[in-house]
Each structure stands twice: as structure tokens, then as C-alpha cells.
Chains A and B, each alone.
Chain A
Amino acid sequence: MPNKITHAEVRMYRMGTGDCFAIKFFAGKGEANVKFKMMIDCGVWTGSKARLQPFIEDLKTYVNNEVDLLVVTHEHIDHVLGFERCSDLFTNDFDVKKIWMGWSEDDSLSKVSNWKTEHGQKKLALARAAERLKNSIQAGLENRLATEHKGNSIFNAKKGFSDSLNGFADLHIQSLNGVYVGLLEGMRVVKKEIANNNIEYKYPGEIVEDIDGLDGVKIYVLGPPEKWNIVETEGGGEGESYTHNTTLKEMDAFAASILSSAAGGNTATSPFDDHYSDLSTSQASGYTKEDWRTIDDDWLYSAGGLALRINSLTNNLSLALAIEFTDNKRVMLFPGDAEYGSWSSWHKINWSETPADSTKHLTEEILNKTVFYKVAHHMSHNGTAQRLGLNMMKHKDLVAMATLDYDNIGDKWSNTMPNHELIDELLTKTKGRLIIMKEDKIFYDFDNTEPLANKIIESRKKMTAAQKTAFDKAFEADPDGRWFQYTVRA
């Protein structure tokens, strides 16, 4: 009986913006020839247990209550919420033989635990600032602005800021009744309840072969990068992706102040010696005499920068995997939500293998041969590097899957997702073989007149008849709408 893997079914669960994938590897046709079952993440922006349960149950049935490998890419709610909401479904009658996470999840390493403490403080500061801003906006800001010209619009803009900031806080921080309790519950469930001394922490440059059941398949570990300074790189400058002008380190003073005032005191380091402080009331009356000019809460808006830095950093900690069918080198790329800093680091990995074309770096060849791409970070601009990413994906069979759903997404995330240039690139490169979790309400143009769905249909006309037949055959949709599935040939 042949054991070599012939194809893989990639099933994207459509729970809402967020990743949940099940992949079955076959050596020949039919369920009897399933050789390996893999699951990547289980998250969504929001969802109750009741709503998520049918999806998870479907997944369990699909993999027959057992996976050989569970990959958890990174600690964001849209990648782990399912483990939290439906923890009992994962801890009962479900067998996980092995778990992979990025090396930055290995709490036994002191550099990881030290960093996590420090980083945890920043996340906490983000949550506190978001909370304070929300309170400040609820505490009569609307009335105060009512006397100002265009006060309504200003209030709306400020409230929008606060909503978006609170969305970022929720993405990162577990709170119970408003109290921060530590790492995301979904992550805890995986580490403490699902895992059974079977977590492996992966480093970039690792090439995993000889996996039981995965004959003819190799897995390349691309990210997370091994150096913090690379993890902290979000943008690559002109022609690469966005650039930013502040660093997380520069938010230290902000975090210190937020945390100490939340703890009830104002013990945050004052930049000046005490004798410069003015305890008289004369200054105070000068400050408050025109109350419309006071600035008590304006500094809280700096948390926006903090939120973006923390968000990108966590995205860059994504475990990024390239799954290669060794015979023809076709690749399935699962980058998690890796951003530019991670993508660029892949090109500096000191691989133990040399590519067939020795003028290239192996990473470039991996990207050249990519035939299936799970679009990173729900099609945001930063999620896919241009020069060092998409431009190198040149395979004629390229198919992309994106986990974007406008019915279940954070405030204002739809401003960056999808990125319109990225959509254009993907549509061209895949000839419309771009599978989006939910196309409803997503438009191709900014004027919201041309639905993306139409544009995809139009782009698909560029496929040859053979390509079209092959694609239609490989693509499958659950009649109940729970998943989309695409079969990748080896």
C-alpha cells in the first residue's frame, strides 16, 4: 500500500474573523487513506459557547476526535477563543497527540518568562488605559463638548478611538468581570488542560521530516524570529509595508504612570525632584480657570500607539510554518498573523539545506513554490510582506484563503482589512482563487459599490478551462455554511 502523501484537505472553519483550520493528509483516495490530521488555531473575534459549539463538533467529527498535531500560532483572541469557550469539548473525548508552539511560548526559558512579565505589564497598561478612557468618555464628555462647535462630531471621533482601543485590549488580555487575570484563557486551556507533556516549542530554521504518517512531507519552521528586536519590527518602510515612528520601549514611561495610578497612587517616577513641585493652589486655578482647555485625560490617547506596538509584536510571535510536499516541492504556507518583521527574518535563516537553485535563499524558493497561502492577519497591509513575501509567490497554481468576516470583526478593523492593494495582488496572482471566509459586505472599491464577490467572479474568468475544472473540483463548501475546504494536490 502506498504511504506517500498524495493530497491534503484544508478546511477553514467559518466562525467569524479568526483562524481555525483542520487539515487532513491523504495517501490515496478515501477516508481509509487519511495518514495524518492536523489542526491550526481555534479562535474568533467574538462568540458564545452556544454559537461556536456546532463548529467545534463538526471539526471533531471531521477528524474523528483525534489530531496528530495541534498548532497554536500565537496568543490573540482570534486564534484561541474557541479553546476557552468550548474547553470541555477539547478536554473530553478529543485526543491531541502533539502540540506545537513558537519558542516564545516556552515559559521554562528564563528569557521568555522575564520578557513575558515585562510585556504583560505593557498589556496591563493597555487594558487600564482603555478602561480609563472609556470611563472618561462616559463621564460627561458629551455634555462638556456640547458647547463646542461640532462638539457632536468630536465626541463621536473620541468615542470611536476609545472603542477601538478597548477592542485591542480585549484581543490581548483576559479579563474576568473587568479584572485582568493573566494570559488569555484559551492559551491556558491549551497549555494546562489539553496538553499532556506533549508541547514542542519550535525555532526558526528547524526542518521537521520523518513525522509518523507524513511520508513525503517536510515542515519548515519560518517564525517566530529568534531575536526580540526583530520581533519588534513591524513595518519595513517604503515599498515594504507601513512604517512607525515610535517603539514599544518609548511607551515605558506611559505604562509606568498608568499602572501606578491604577494601583491607587501617583507613585510613578516623577521626572523632576520633589522640590520643584508646586503645592500651592495658584497654579491649579490658572489651569482650571478655562475648563474647556484642561488636559486631564488627553494623555490617555497615547495608548493607541501602545496598542499597535503590542499587537504587532504578538503577531510577529506567530509560529509560521511551510508544509512542503517533497517530491515536487509544492508548499502550503501557514504564517499565522506574522507581520513584516517576521517575514523579513525568514530570509535570514541559516537553513541546513541548500535550495535547488543555489542563487536563491531557501526561503525565497519556499515562497516561489507556494501553492496554498493562508493569508496572514486577515488581509491587513502589514500581514503580508510585499517584496519579501507576496512578490515571491509566483506559482501558477497559487490559491489563497483569508479568514475575514465583516459580521464578526473588531471596531475599525475593517478600515485596514482587507488592504485593497493586497486584494488586487492576490486576485491577480491567484486568478481569483481567493477564498474568503465571508464575502458579504466586503467591497472591492472604497465607494462600496462593487462587491468583492463580483470582483472575484470576474477574476476567475482568467483561469484556463483546465484550471477552472481543477479548482471547482478541489473546492468544497459545507451546505450548512460551517466551513470551506480546498484540496491541495501533492
Chain B
Amino acid sequence: MINKQSATNTAVHGPAFRKLRGYAFDPSLSLNTDTFFINNITYKVPWEDELQTGPVGEYVEVIDYDPTIEKYYTPVDLDAEYLLAEDGLDPDENNPQFHQQMVYAVAMTTIKNFENALGRLVQWSPRRLADRKEFEKYVRKLRIYPHALRDANAYYSPQKKALLFGYFASNPAKNTLHMPGSFVYTCLSHDIIAHETTHAILDGMYPHYSEPTNADVLAFHEAFADIVALFQHFTFPEVLKHQIAKTRGDLASQNLLGELAQEFGSAIGNYGSLRSALGKKDPITKKWVPNEPTGEEYATIMEPHNRGSILVSAVFDAFLTIYKNRVSDLLRLATNGTGVLPAGDLHPDLVNRLANEASKSASHVLNMCIRALDYCPPVDITFGDYLRAIITADTDIVVDDDRNYRVAFIEAFRRRGMYPHGIKTLSMSSLGFQKNRLSHGIAELFGSITAQLRNYSNNVIYEKDREEIYKQTKAFIAKSEFEDMTPGGLHSSFMASFDNSIEFEQLTGLVFNSDWSYYGVRTSKSYKDKALGPSFRIQDLRLVSRVGPENKQINQIVFSIIQRSGVIINKGKFAGHFIPPDDPVEYEKGKFDFYGGCTLIFDLDSLELKYAISKPLLDIAKLKEAMKSQIPTQIKEIRKIDTARAEAQYRYQHEEAPMHLSEYTQYFSGGMANFLNEPFSFLHQH
């Protein structure tokens, strides 16, 4: 341990960063003279004062136990003087302590990127318990096992809140990159670590995204993790500089970046497979050419992995458009407007500028993609929902889209046939979620909720301890946020305020009327004064403060409400409800859990509900009709379940998914309705 406050330097503050050396890609590229220079970079991770050996810090604990040989490896002490002086250990495949340093550096870099984009601290998903009184437990640190498996796989375990990395004997098919028979470590690949960390962060926000309720859900998890890994890479300008300088080719064409993106992922295992959709090397010219989308992709490609690659390629397409726009002036300058570069090496200034523009574009795209998460529905996400989230989130913070980022995204999605469900035209205004027009009565009700939210915000805004934030939030919601639990808090106010409000039901798509059992919703005893009401859950309540490029500041409270309904399907058609038990061991044929949910975004400055982004349990169109015609509330006639969505989920889980599942999943999983045994391990195996 170093003496952090030496006598002669009493005024010195802790450093902002801890510099740690590591691979930019993975070790195989260090053996290649072309890539050697760019492969070793220095990660700058936020300085942690209390970092223990392991490393064990505020967010992650690296535990280097290898169960396959029942061995522990000595944990690295990154505060050791020599290591501080040298920016950590030298990259070395044969030193497990370097492996520990590498996973720590990349995981922390990823976490930092999320916190910057989201405007709040990252929280892991809590550990859910069988005991309904205790309900869940806070998890402060994500566990990282760098040597957990002997397999060409790595995954995030939602049950253990841990990342498990594998290693394996290299495949002789890649003799040129790996020595045959030598070990390849997934924990040394930037992309794999970033990818798995992203799964964990996303699970912390939306635990329901690991449930395959439609063809997009698992694909989204996988694609999003890959997008983060990919663009995080592009934010390191030193990596790009070398490649740009090396290429004497056509700089205006974006192929260089596409090829690089693919190379980033190709070295180890399957992690680059999502990027194979970007393009390929022409077998004759040996030149990389991008794949032209046909527009049929979204409608025809169903296997989660391949489907994820559509989303990755769409976002990458948008990125290239943005980059191209940003460098067009530079290229005109460099070529005197001819578009033809003079012979000889590129001017280093030009290289720097191009690399910086690429890095800046990447970081903007990364931010847009991460920010959009706050605008997603809490269950059953589709790529179309995600596009709408990207557009809305960006419109909120960047008023003037003078560089046409949003158009670039819409264009890229459209070219792959990805259209959001239920919008009339593909314009900016219809794509963005609309601010809700509320009747006076309900606006007032929301006003009182928002006032409570502002109180909450005042309490937690200066709180920096993540566990304390979690506890205060939990107390604010109910001291307990679920059915059958202690009454009070936001949870109770919801029912008190919106009981039988058809407008609120139309807004959220959830059941808030006195006939909840009829809709297959469980009874909650957690309301004030032991009143009974429909069960629902408030998830991931968070305070969001972000600042945009024009110094526009956003202060919002975001949370999701989730409700479960037991639905019976017979011969493909909705046939009624049942009350779902807490943990059904196995449902009879035709029964399943149907989740609805709604993400509510409140503006703290104007004290109003800004957006309600819903995956309804109820048929919204019918509710709207009823509201228009002002019929007195004959509950069961007006409120019908959203049978189309329920039937679609059942059809997907029982008919469509089995057609497209990997053989591995078919032989070894518990099926789509029980995807609980390490879902991310299955996702990576095919």
C-alpha cells in the first residue's frame, strides 16, 4: 500500500485517473508486426482510493479462482508503488495478474462510458430472493472471474451477478494468429470484456430483457453489447491513427472503418460474428466491401445472433454517415477539392484530425445508443422501439440536429426494413415519442406524484454512495416495492391516485381498476391500510441529470412499472386468464406469463409527465374509443386484454423461436418459457 498522504505533499488531491496498460484488441495482435504498435494502449480508468488487491473496487471484484483446476491465483495489488509508477503490469499473457488488471481496466472503462452517457451512477441488478418479504438484496460489486471456464465462451450470469470468462486450446485453423495448442484467454480481449460488462449493466436496468418474448429481445441484448464494445474501441484515437496513416487508399470511402470494426471482433471466438453483417473481403480484389442491405433483413432473419447483427450494422451504418459528414471538409482541404490525394504519406496533422473525427463520431454514437436506454419500454423491446428511443432521447438533449445524426439513424434502420410498430409515417416527429396530452384531472394527479418525486430527487441528488441511493429509492417506493409487502410510498400513491382511471390505463396499458383478477393480475396486499389492489412493480427508479451540447440541461426522474397477467392461449387464440403463481414450476400447455410495462419519464423542472412508453397489457385502441365516446365505465366491456400482443408472444415462444434456435439451445435449454439457466451462456453458444 502506498502512503496516500505523504508529509511533504499534504495538499495533493487524489489523481483523477489510474493509468493501466492493456491490449487494445487481444494478445494475438501483439504478435503481428502490423498491429503490434496499436495493440498496447493505456486505459485511463477513474481513480479509486479504496482499491483493494484483486482488484476489488467500488463496482467490481475480480476473484481469480479457476474451478477447473481448483486453484487461486495471487491477486494483483494495483496500488503497489512499482505498478503505480509504471501504469500497471506489462501486458503479458502468461501472467494471471495482468489478466486481472486487464478485466478491471476494460470493465471500469465501460462503466465510466455508461455513467457519462446516462448521467447517473451504474447499479447492478439486485439479487432477487424467493422470500417475498425480503424480496431482494443490494449487490454493490459485480464479480469477475477471469478464469472460470475451459470453453471458447464468456458470459454474464444474472443469477450470480458475475462475469465468467473462459479459456481454451486454440484452434489450429488459426495457426497464423495463435500457436496451436496454446491457450487463448477470453479475458484478454477488450471486446469480450466490454461486451459482457454491458450485458451486466443492461440487466441492471432491464432484467426482463433476458426473457425471449419476441424475436428481437435476445438479439437486442446481444447487439447492444456488441455496439458498446465496437464503439468503445473507436473512441481510442491512437488505434485509428495508425490505421489511417497506413492506408494510402480512398479515405472518403468508409471501408477502412468497416474493415477495422470487423477486425476488432475477429480475433477470438464468436464475438466478431455479429459484425460479419457489415461487409466482407472481396475474394478477388482483396478489398473490403460493405454489404448492401436488401431491406428484407428484419423480416427474414430470426436467429437471435444473426438478427442482432442487423441492429449492429444499422448503427454502424449511421456512424459511417455521420463520420463522412464530419470529414468531408477535411478531405476537400487535403485534396484541394479534387478528391484525389497527392502522392506520399498523409500529413500527420490530417491523420490526427481524421482520427479525432472518427473517435468523436464514435463517442457521439455510443452516447446516443446508451442514452436511449432510458426511453425504452421495460419489457418486450423491439428494434423499432429502440429506434424511437434513440430519436426521442437525442431530441430531448440536442435540440438542433445540425449534423443530421438523427436522419442518419432513421435512414440506416429504414434500409434494413426495421420499422417501429404502430406509427403512421416515418418522419422525425412521428418517430419520436410524443409528450402526452393529459386531461386536467389526471395532470393534477400526476402533479402530486411529481411533487413527491421532486422531494425524492432533493434527497438523493447529492448522495454519492450507490448503496445509500438504492436504499433511499427503495424506501421511497415502499420500503419494499412489491406485492404482499409493507404499505406506503410511491407504490401506494399510484393506486390511490389512479384507481379506475381509464385515462391512466390508456396511458400505461396496465390494469389499474377494481377488476384486476379478471385480467389475470395477482392481488397485492402492499397498499396502505391493508387495502387490496392489483399487483404491479416499480422498477429502477432513477434520477437523471444530463447536459447537452448546447448546455441544455435535463433533470428527469425515470422509472418503469411492470405488471404480470396470466394468459391462456388455445389453438393460437386468446382463451382467458388465470392468476399466475409466484414461481410456477411448469405451466400446463397454453398458459404463460404475459408481462406489460411502461416507462414513465417525469420532467423535474416543469413538474410534469413527459413520456409514457408502454408495452400494454390492455388493448389501447379500445380504451381510446371508450374515452372518446364517454361511456360510463363498464369495466369488462371497455377494457380488453391486448390479445394481439399476447398471441404474438405465445406464437413466438412456441412456434417461431423453436424454428430458429441453435441446436445447442434445443438440446440443453429449458425452452423459451424457462430461459433462466444462464441465458447469456446459451446466447453465445451456437
Q: Which residues of A are in contact with B by a Cβ distance under 8 Å? A: 146-154, 156-158, 160-161, 164-165, 168, 238, 242-247, 249-254, 257, 261, 266, 268, 270-273, 276-279, 283-284, 286-287, 292-299, 301-302, 304-305, 307-308, 381-382, 412-413, 415-416, 420-421, 445-449
Whether the Cβ atoms of B585 and A246 lie closer than 8 Å is no
A-B contact count (CB 8 A): 232
Q: How far is the CB of A41 from chain B (nearest CB, A)?
A: 23
Q: In the complex the two chains form, what is the Cα distance from A157 to B665 in whole Å?
A: 11
Of the A-B pairs whose beta carbons lie under 8 Å apart in the complex, a sample of 25, sorted by A's number, is A147-B129, A147-B130, A148-B128, A150-B130, A151-B583, A156-B674, A157-B670, A157-B674, A161-B670, A246-B685, A249-B169, A252-B169, A254-B150, A270-B71, A272-B73, A283-B73, A287-B63, A293-B162, A298-B67, A298-B164, A299-B150, A413-B667, A415-B658, A420-B658, A447-B572
Report yes or no: A305 in contact with B151, Cβ–Cβ below 8 A: yes
Sample of 11 more A-B contacts, CB < 8 Å, known A156-B585, A276-B74, A297-B67: A147-B130, A152-B583, A157-B677, A245-B152, A247-B171, A278-B74, A299-B149, A299-B166, A302-B149, A413-B667, A449-B571
| Residues in B neighbouring A381, C-beta threshold 8 A | 663
- The answer to whether A250 and B171 touch (CB under 8 A), given A277-B74, A445-B655, is yes
Are A415 and B667 interface neighbours, CB within 8 A?
Answer: yes
Interface residues of B in 142-192 (CB under 8 A from A): 143, 145, 147-153, 157, 159-162, 164, 166-173, 181, 183, 185
Residues of chain B from 637 to 686 with CB closer than 8 A to chain A in the complex: 654-655, 658-659, 662-664, 666-671, 674-678, 681, 684-686
Least CB distance from B658 to A in Å reads 6
- B73, A277: Cβ atoms under 8 Å? yes
Contacting residue for A148 out of B67, B129, B170, B662, CB 8 A:
B129
Check A412/B666 contact, CB under 8 A, given A156-B674, A278-B74: yes
User: Is B131 part of the contact surface with A, judged by Cβ < 8 Å?
Assistant: yes
Contact status B654-A447, CB under 8 Å: yes
Quick one: which of A153, A297, A301, A415 contacts B674, CB cutoff 8 A?
Answer: A153
Residues of A within 8 A of B65 (CB): 283-284, 287, 295
Interface residues of chain B, those whose CB is within 8 Å of chain A, are 54, 56, 61, 63-75, 94-97, 127-131, 136, 143, 145, 147-153, 157, 159-162, 164, 166-173, 181, 183, 185, 269-270, 273, 306, 571-572, 583-586, 589, 654-655, 658-659, 662-664, 666-671, 674-678, 681, 684-686
- Give every chain B residue within 8 A of A152 (Cβ-Cβ): 583, 585
Assess A283 versus B269: contact at CB under 8 Å? Given A148-B130, A301-B678, A446-B654: no
Q: Known contacts being A147-B129, A271-B147, A297-B67, is A420 close to B659, with CB within 8 Å?
A: yes
Contact B128 A254 (CB under 8 A): no
The residue on B at minimum CB distance from A248 is B171
> A168 CA to B668 CA in the complex, in Å?
11
Q: Which of A268, A284, A304, A412 contacts B68 (CB 8 A)?
A: A268
Pairs A-B, 5 closest by C-beta atoms? A157-B670, A149-B128, A157-B677, A302-B151, A252-B169
Q: Is the CB of B148 within 8 A of A299?
A: yes
With A246-B152, A277-B72 given, is the CB distance from A293 to B143 under 8 Å? yes
Residue from A286, A296, A445, A448 in contact with B67 in the complex, judged by beta carbons closer than 8 Å: A296
Residues of A within 8 A of B663 (CB): 242, 244, 308, 381-382, 416
Q: What B residues does A254 contact at CB under 8 A?
A: 68, 150-151, 168
- Most chain A CB within 10 A, of B68, B95, B159, B671, is at B68
A156 touches B670 (CB 8 A): yes
Bound form: Cα–Cα A292–B129 in Å: 11
> Is A278 a contact of B168 with CB atoms below 8 Å?
no
Q: Are B150 and A253 in contact (CB under 8 A)?
A: yes
- A292–B667 contact, CB under 8 A? no
B96 CB contact (under 8 Å) in A261, A276, A293, A307: A276
Q: Are the CB atoms of A253 and B677 closer together than 8 Å?
A: no
Are B67 and A295 in contact, CB atoms less than 8 angstroms apart?
Answer: yes
- Of A150, A250, A295, A420, which contacts B169 at CB under 8 A? A250
In the bound complex, CA of A154 to CA of B167 (Å): 26
Cβ distance B387 to chain A, nearest Cβ, rounded Å: 25
Report if A150-B676 is in contact (Cβ < 8 Å); known contacts: A268-B68, A277-B74: yes
